[in-house]
């Protein structure tokens, strides 16, 4: 999901906004992630609607990710695990 972000946001905004996106997939629980997604959409939804829409559309596939321990999730969401 995070990678699709780059397709919808101009390069000049990547660093400004990437922290908000990280707060979603680094949240401790699915409920906390949903709250972070709400915050993300409140802040950036008008400027970049496809990002929030994509997360919402795929939410059912994202939720199981939060059942894993944090160390395992990091391996799943990063390409630099090793």
So where are the chain's domains?
2-77
At residue 71, the pLDDT reads: 86
Query: Pick from 27, 37, 32: which is nearest to 70 by CA?
Result: 27
Q: Which one is predicted more confidently, 21 or 27?
A: 27
Helix (H, G, I), strand (E, B) or coil at 52: helix
Q: Which one is predicted more confidently, 20 or 29?
A: 29
Question: Does residue 30 have a pLDDT over 90?
Answer: yes
Helices 30-44 + 49-57 axis angle, to 10: 160
∠ Cα 40 24 82 (to 5°): 140
Over pLDDT 70: what percentage of the chain?
73
pLDDT band of residue 74 (cuts 50, 70, 90) is confident
pLDDT band of residue 42 (cuts 50, 70, 90) is very high
48, 67 Cβ separation under 8 angstroms: no
List all residues 6 or more positions away from 42 whose beta carbon is below 8 Å from its beta carbon: none
């Amino acid at each position: 999901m995070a990678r699709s972000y780059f397709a919808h946001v101009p390069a000049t905004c990547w660093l400004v906004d990437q922290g908000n996106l990280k707060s979603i997939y680094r949240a401790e629980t699915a409920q906390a992630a949903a709250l972070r997604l709400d915050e993300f959409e409140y802040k950036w939804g008008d400027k970049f609607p496809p990002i929030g829409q994509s997360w919402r559309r795929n939410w059912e596939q994202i939720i199981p990710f939060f059942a894993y321990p944090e160390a395992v999730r990091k391996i799943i969401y990063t390409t630099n695990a090793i």
